Chain A
Amino acid sequence: MQILGDLNRCIGAGQCVMLAPDLFTQDEETGLVVVMVPSPTAAQLAAAQAAETACPALAIQVKDIGEARAG
C-alpha cells in the first residue's frame, strides 16, 4: 500500500499531521502535506486510512499502486 498526497488538492489543513504525525508533516514554507512514509507498515495503515478519511480536501489516498486515482 502506498500513501499519496495530492499537492493540487492539499490546503494545508493539517488533519493528517494531527492524526498520524509519524506519517505526515507540513512543509515549513507552504504548509502543504509532506508524506514522510510513502509505504506504511501494516501497523501504520490504520492511521494512514484515518488521515485519508479526515482530509477535508480529499488530498490523501491510501492505495495499492495500481488503484491510484488518475489526475
Chain B
Amino acid sequence: MEAIELSVFPPLRSPQDPLAPPPFLRAMAQQEKPQRVRQWDGVEAWVVTRHEDAKLALNDKRLSADPRKPGYPEKSEAYKQVLGQDRNLRTMDDPEHSEQKRMLARDFTVRRVQEMRPAIQAKVDSLIDAMLEKGDQGDIVQDLSLPVPTLVICELLGVPYADRDWYAEKSQVCISSIVPPEEAAAAAKEMYAYMERLIEAKDRAPENDLLSRLAVDQLRPGIIAAKDVIELSRFILIAGHETTANMIGMSVLALLQNPDQRELVTNSSDPKFMANAVEEMLRYLSIVHSGRRRVAVADLVIGGQLISAGEGVIIMNNVADRDESVFADPDRLDVTRANARAHLAFGGGAHRCLGSFLSQAELEIVHNTLWKRMPTLRLDPERAPRFYEESAVYGLKSLPVRW
C-alpha cells in the first residue's frame, strides 16, 4: 500500500468543530482497514482508527511501547530526544512495565482516590468562591482548570504548590509538538534538576507522599536508579496535571456549548449519574490526541491488515471514541449514554492511564459543583476561547467566561 504523507500529525481540526477529531482522520476511519502513513521523519506506520481494532491493538503483546526499537513512530523530534529517552512505565514493555506500574498502583487505587475527595471538593469550593468574589468575569483555565489538578498532583507527589507556575510552563514545553528539541531538552533538564533536589530532600526527611515512598522504598535500597526515579517523577508530574487540566477546561466548554446536557448535570446530585456524565465527556473530548505509539515485534493482523514485525502502529484512541459502530450518534454529547464507559480516552490494555480514577474524581467534583454554584456561567461574547493545538494533549489556553 502506498503510504499517505502526513508530516503534520495529528492533522488540523476543523475550525467549525474544534472539539471533534480532525476530519482527515475521521475519513480514514471510514476505510475498512488501517491505513499506512509516512510521518514527519519518514517512518511509516499503520494508523488504527476503529474502536474494535484499537481495543485489541492496545491489548496485544506483540506491539511494543519501547521507542528504542527500530520502526517505532515517535511523535516529534523533541519527543525523540527528550521524553522518548526516559526509561519508565510509559516506554517499557512487560515484565518491566508491570513491575513499575505495580510499584505505583497502590497510590492510585479507588480507595486512595476516595480518601482524597474531601480535599478536592474543598479546593474546588474555594476556587469558585474566589471567582465569585472577584467580579463577574474570568478565565476558567486560570481560575479553575489549572489549579485543581495541580494541587492534587502536588499533594500526591509531595511537590511544593508554590512552584506550580514554573513547572506548569516547563511541562507544556516538554509535551509540545512544535518546540525545537533544544528547548524541550532544556525544560526537561531543568525539571530533572528540580525533581532531583526534591527527592534528595525527601530521602533525608520522608513525608507521607509518593516521592518519599519512591526515595525510601526504591532509591535507597538501589532497586531503581536515581535517574529513573527522577524521570518517573517528572513524568507523573507532567501527566498528572496537563491532562486533567485540559479535560476540565474542555468539558466546561462542551457543556457551555450543549445547554441541554448542562441542565441534566446541574439538576443531578447522583454520584452514578455524575460518574457516567464524566465518562461521556471523556469519550466526546478524548483529548490525548496524537495516538498511542507502538512498533510490532512479531507479525500480527489488525482489522484485516497484516502488520509485519518492525512496522510502526499509531492507535488513534480519540478517533475510535467517535466510532459510530460502537457509539450511536457519536458526535452528540449525551451524558446519559449507556456505553460511555467503553471509551478509550485513558487508552487501554497494560499501559492504560494509572491516574484515571483521580482524573475522574476531579472532573466529577468540578461538574457536580460548578454548574450548581454558577448557574449564569456563560461564554464571554467578547473574548473567544483559545486552543492549544500543538501539544500531545489538546486543550485550551484560555476560556473566558462571564457570570
* CB atoms of B352 and A30 under 8 A apart: no
* CB atoms of B349 and A12 under 8 A apart: no
* CB atoms of B348 and A30 under 8 A apart: no
Contacts of B111 in A (CB 8 A): 26, 28
Per-residue interface assignment for chain A, residues 1 to 44, with 1 indicating a CB less than 8 Å from any chain B CB and 0 otherwise: 00000000101111101100000001011111000000000000
Given A14-B109, A18-B110, A31-B108, are A54 and B341 neighbors across the interface (CB < 8 Å)?
yes
Contacts of A28 in B (CB 8 A): 106, 109, 111
* CB atoms of B341 and A12 under 8 A apart: no
Contacts of A54 in B (CB 8 A): 341-342
Contacts of B341 in A (CB 8 A): 15, 54
* CB atoms of A58 and B106 under 8 A apart: no
Report Cα–Cα, A26/B59, bound state, in Å: 21
Please count how many residues in chain B sit with their CB below 8 Å of the partner chain's CB atoms.
Answer: 23
* CB atoms of B109 and A56 under 8 A apart: no
**Closest partner residue, chain A, to B341 (CB atom):** A54
Main DSSP-derived SS at the A contact region? loop
Report Cα–Cα, A15/B98, bound state, in Å: 18
Contacts of B354 in A (CB 8 A): 12
The verdict on B226 contacting chain A, using a C-beta distance below 8 Å, is no
Report Cα–Cα, A12/B108, bound state, in Å: 9
**Closest partner residue, chain A, to B113 (CB atom):** A14
Query: Which residues of chain B in 24-63 are interfacial with respect to chain A, using CB atoms and an 8 Å cutoff?
Result: 58-59
Contact partner, B102, options A13, A31, A58, Cβ 8 Å = A31
* CB atoms of B357 and A11 under 8 A apart: no
Q: Give the most central of B59, B108, B109, B341: most A CB within 10 Å.
A: B109
Please count how many residues in chain A sit with their CB below 8 Å of the partner chain's CB atoms.
Answer: 19
* CB atoms of B349 and A56 under 8 A apart: yes
Using CB atoms and an 8 Å cutoff, list the residues of chain A in contact with chain B. Answer: 9, 11-15, 17-18, 26, 28-32, 53-54, 56-58
* CB atoms of A11 and B59 under 8 A apart: no
Q: Give the most central of A17, A18, A28, A31: most B CB within 10 Å.
A: A31
Report Cα–Cα, A18/B110, bound state, in Å: 8
Q: Give me 6 A-to-B residue pairs in the complex whose CB atoms sit less than 8 angstroms apart, sorted by A's number.
A: A13-B352, A29-B106, A53-B342, A56-B346, A57-B348, A57-B350
Given A57-B59, A58-B59, are A11 and B110 neighbors across the interface (CB < 8 Å)?
no
* CB atoms of B352 and A11 under 8 A apart: yes
Query: Which residues of chain B in 343-357 are interfacial with respect to chain A, using CB atoms and an 8 Å cutoff?
Result: 346-350, 352, 354, 356-357
* CB atoms of B105 and A30 under 8 A apart: yes
Query: Which residues of chain B in 126-169 are interfacial with respect to chain A, using CB atoms and an 8 Å cutoff?
Result: none
Given A11-B98, A12-B102, A54-B341, are A31 and B109 neighbors across the interface (CB < 8 Å)?
yes
Contact partner, B101, options A11, A26, A56, Cβ 8 Å = A11
* CB atoms of B105 and A12 under 8 A apart: yes
Using CB atoms and an 8 Å cutoff, list the residues of chain B in contact with chain A. Answer: 58-59, 98, 101-102, 105-106, 108-111, 275, 341-342, 346-350, 352, 354, 356-357
**Closest partner residue, chain B, to A12 (CB atom):** B105
> What 18 additional pairs, Cβ within 8 angstroms, besides A28-B106, A32-B105, A57-B348?
A11-B349, A12-B109, A14-B109, A14-B357, A18-B110, A26-B105, A26-B111, A28-B109, A30-B105, A30-B106, A31-B102, A31-B105, A56-B59, A56-B346, A56-B348, A57-B350, A57-B352, A58-B349
Q: How far is the CB of B52 from chain A (nearest CB, A)?
A: 13
Report Cα–Cα, A53/B110, bound state, in Å: 19
Q: How far is the CB of B276 from chain A (nearest CB, A)?
A: 11
**Closest partner residue, chain B, to A53 (CB atom):** B342
Q: Which 5 A-B pairs have the closest CB atoms?
A: A31-B105, A12-B105, A56-B348, A56-B352, A14-B110
Report Cα–Cα, A13/B59, bound state, in Å: 14
Q: How far is the CB of A20 from chain B (nearest CB, A)?
A: 12
* CB atoms of A31 and B106 under 8 A apart: yes
Contacts of A11 in B (CB 8 A): 98, 101, 105, 349-350, 352
**Closest partner residue, chain A, to B58 (CB atom):** A56
